[in-house]
Amino acid sequence: MGVFYEAIPTSMRQWILDQKVFWVATAPLSAAGHVNISPKGRQYFGVIDERTFWYMDLSGSGNETISHLLEPNNGRITIQFNAFEGPPRILRLWGHGRVLENGTDEYATFINSHEVHTLPGSRSIIVVDIHQVGSSCGFSVPFYDFKEFRPVLNDFFEKKRQKFEAGKLEESMDRYWAYKNAWSMDGLPGMRRGLLAGKTEKVAPIKKMVGPLVPKRYQDGRGIAAEIVSLIAFLSFILGLTLAVYGPALVELAQAVDVSRLRNTIARVSS
């Protein structure tokens, strides 16, 4: 039986911090966009208070979460934990996420104030402002014994850092982000540093989809291309400005035309 809360119960805080893996779910506003689910390993996360959760977002080949959170009027995110030992439990945190990108003042302030040990592959801190918490049974989730964390990702970016510091400029994280993390698979912009590096260093982004369903351009939540929405807004602005400036004159002209027509009609009837 599911139980809902407005905030993280005190009794569940330590259980959350003890978990070895969790899942992050986001989606674009467009109905044609793709829902994303990402597993997160290692304990690079924390609970600031009963309504605030954070995790360190490590670099990878995808960039869906950041793109969805940065999309205007979006920001929706769900965090899910599962119990793989002890009593069964599924815990979900619903909220809106904020992206503190590596290199920004917000990122530096957060890691300093919360004493977060960052890694060479860290691209952002995701802060989730929670508005609902749900706990359900998870009776069908199997038991698993934890063995160890995989070191592959951390080792990869540590070696990349060493190569860059040794003088290989092509190994910079900004070039990596420009290649893999500048755009989502649906065409939403992602990391700002990646977008900037792509322009300044002329790094073409990786192709992320294949086949006939590859989107040619992103569409907003109503299925209308963003360019069309912008055009409609612009034309509406021009129309409103025209009416504001020439409205009185147009009203007088319309009234004059109506009076002239009325006179002609009376003349025809009288004759």
| H or E segment and range at residue 39 | strand 36-41
DSSP 214-265: --SS-B-TTS-BHHHHHHHHHHHHHHHHHHHHHHHHHHHHHHHHHHHHHHHH
Model confidence band, residue 60 (pLDDT cutoffs 50, 70, 90): very high
How confident is the model over 151-178, as pLDDT tens digits?
999 999 999 999 999 999 999 999 999 9
Q: What is the pLDDT of residue 269?
A: 61
Q: Once rounded to an integer, what is the mean pLDDT over residues 38-61?
A: 96
Q: What is the pLDDT of residue 253?
A: 66
Q: What is the pLDDT of residue 220?
A: 66
In this structure, are residues 181 and 156 in contact, taking their beta carbons and an 8 Å threshold?
A: no
Q: Does the structure show a pLDDT above 70 at 271?
A: no
How confident is the model over 202-257, as pLDDT tens digits?
999 999 999 987 887 776 655 455 566 567 767 877 887 777 777 777 667 667 66
Burial of 87-122, coded b for 16+ CB within 10 Å and e otherwise, reads ebbbbbbbbebbbbbbeeeebeebbeeeebeebbbb
In this structure, are residues 16 and 27 in contact, taking their beta carbons and an 8 Å threshold?
A: no
Q: Once rounded to an integer, what is the mean pLDDT over residues 29-45?
A: 95
Q: Once rounded to an integer, what is the mean pLDDT over residues 43-52?
A: 96
The answer as to CATH 2.30.110.10 being correct for domain 3-147 is: yes
Compute the mean pLDDT over every residue in the chain, rounded to the nearest whole number.
Answer: 91
**49-53, 78-82, 123-127, 214-218: which range is least confident on average?**
214-218
3-state DSSP call for residue 128?
A: strand
3-state DSSP call for residue 3?
A: strand
Domain ranges in the chain are: 3-147, 225-271
